[in-house]
Structures are given as structure tokens and as C-alpha cells.
Amino acid sequence: MKKALLLRKAADGLESVLKPVYGMNRPSIGGVDKDISYGPHPLNAMDVYRPGGGGPHPVFVWIHGGGWVTGDKSVSDNACRRFASRGFVVFSLNYRLAPEHRFPEQFRDIDAAMAVVIERAEGFGGDAGRMFIGGDSAGAHLSSWYACALLDGGLRDAAGIAGAMPPGNVRGLILFYGVYDVDGMRGSGFPFSKLFTDAFLGEDAGERIAETASPAFNIPGGYPPCFITAAQSDRLYSQSVDFADTLRAAGVEVETAFFPRAAYPLSNHGYLNFPMLRSSRESIGGAAEFMKNRQ
């Protein structure tokens, strides 16, 4: 636990240095409402990014990454603004972090947040009947697993959630360089991968818990269409490629934006948050088009 907390402190320090970079090229939008509470914990809060013009607009719930241990909704500010500028009401969530809060507590937060999104979407110009869910890295994992649980009562029971979002409201998932086989992450070579997974699942968690926590092993019928993007230079790249293949084999509609190393040499894990990168711009454009085609 101590190592995970030290890693969080180091990551938070790095993010504070990079925030001016994350803030580059921010588009104009209708407005932002900060730190709306959805539960009793200080991290049970979300920001809402409103597009300009009249609604109702489709809703996009965004879940930040950070290895389940670190990260904050503020890091995703630029990306959320770019999605809002394309006509989506974006709800950007914080959630309780590991190791203090382990699987499945994050999903209890997400489910509680979804209930508030449904209740308040109209007041922000959104239509919760046209819902997209997504995130980057650990946020992509949380998004994709929550979508599994909405369609699988056993997973809802495992997480202790009711499933606040009606599955039929979810038009698609937007998944940036995620983790879909949690135990498989340990051998990926991704920095601190064992520390992240141990913090999230618990050091003594067995294969059964890791499998339960992995979207790749729990794809239910009726799973929503997915937009999946990742860069080849990322040590987690194979997770996205394999998950796309698994979904297609299950009959799920999938679009991908994969960035080969030779053509995108600067693109690695986290490229979404660097708006000067072509992969960042192209992936957001592709994701927005994917969503507009499924409103």
C-alpha cells in the first residue's frame, strides 16, 4: 500500500507540471460546472461541460485514468472540452482510488454518479436517453466493465450495484488505451503494472477475482458498439487489439483507431491529453464521429 501511495504522490507531481501542456488549444464551449457532488466521499464529484447552442444534446460520461491509484478529472479537462465543442454534454467523474478503495468500490461510485447524471442531464441541456460512456487507461477499463455489469446480473451482484443506467440508453463506448484483462496487465511490461493491479484487486487476489474484474472475460449479449483506440508504442497496446478481436468474435460492433509506431513515433500511453499530437486530434475526431453516427 505504501508503494502505491508514493506512486500517487509522484504521479500527481508530474501531472501538475504537465497541466499547462494539457491546457493547450482549448476550444470555446458553452460553459463548465465544477465539482457537482454525487455522493458522500470528497471524490464523489463530477464536472459538467456544456456545448454551445440549444439542446438537448447527447450525453458523454467520461472516467479518467491513472492505474486506479492516481489521476483526477482535472487532467481530462482539455479532452472533455474538445468533446463538448463537438456537441456533447460531458460529465467527467472522479471516483475513490486504490489502494484505500479496491475493486469493486469504484463501480459503486460510478453507479451512484450515473443515477445523478440521469436525474440532472436535462438541466444541463443533455439527453440521458442518448448516452455514451468512456475513458482512458483505467477509465476505459471501468467504462467497459460497467457496461458489462449493466447487462449481467451476476456482475452487478459482485459489485454490489443496482445498475442505475438503463442498458438501452447506452449507445456506445469510447475506450482509449485501456486494460481489459486485468491479470494480463501484470506481464505486459507496462511501468508499475504489478503495483497497479495489486493495489486495485488486493495483493492476495486470485485468478477468479481478476477474471471477474476483466471485461474481456465477461462480454454479455447486447453489449454496446465500441470505439477503441491505442498506440503501438504503448506496452498495453495488445490489450486494445485483443479486446477488439474478442468483441468482434462475440458479434459486437467495433471501430478502431490504432496508431502504428512508424507513423506516430511520439504517441504512447496518454496521447489523448497532449493536443499537439496528431494521434490525440485524430482519435477525438474519430470518437466524436462514431458517437454522432449512433445518437
- Quote the DSSP letter at residue 108: H
CA 163 to chain centre: 17
7 versus 137: the higher-pLDDT residue is: 137
Q: Give the separation between CA 222 and CA 201, rounded to whole angstroms.
A: 27
Answer yes or no: is pLDDT of 271 > 80.
yes
Tell me the CATH number at 41.
3.40.50.1820
- 51 has which bridge partners? none
pTM summary value: 0.94
The pLDDT mean for the chain works out to: 93
Strands of the sheet containing 170-176, edge to edge, are 31-37, 45-50, 89-93, 57-63, 126-136, 170-176, 226-231, 254-259
Q: At 259, phi and psi to the nearest 5? A: -110, 105
Min mean pLDDT across 2-11, 124-133, 150-159, 229-238 is at 2-11
Answer yes or no: is pLDDT of 7 > 50.
no
Largest CA distance in the chain: 51
Are the beta carbons of 89 and 131 closer than 8 angstroms? no
- Quote the DSSP letter at residue 23: T
- 37 has which bridge partners? 45
Q: Give the separation between CA 261 and CA 177, rounded to whole angstroms.
A: 14
Tell me the mean pLDDT in the region 218-242: 98
In tens, the pLDDT along 112-135 reads 999 999 999 999 999 999 999 999
Q: At 217, phi and psi to the nearest 5? A: -105, 10
**pLDDT computed for residue 283 by the predictor:** 98
Q: How far apart are the first and last CA of the chain?
A: 43
Are the beta carbons of 232 and 259 closer than 8 angstroms? yes
Q: Residue 28: which domain range?
A: 2-292
Q: How many domains does the chain have?
A: 1
Say which residue the cell 457496461 belongs to: 147
Instruction: Give the chain's length.
Output: 295
In tens, the pLDDT along 55-109 reads 899 999 999 999 999 999 999 999 999 999 999 999 999 999 999 999 999 999 9
Answer yes or no: is pLDDT of 24 > 60.
yes
Q: With the C-alpha atoms ordered 46, 288, 31, 127, is the resulting torsion angle positive or negative?
A: negative
Tell me the mean pLDDT in the region 33-59: 96
Answer yes or no: is pLDDT of 32 > 60.
yes
Answer yes or no: is pLDDT of 21 > 50.
yes
Which stretches within 230-273 are classed as H helix? 237-249
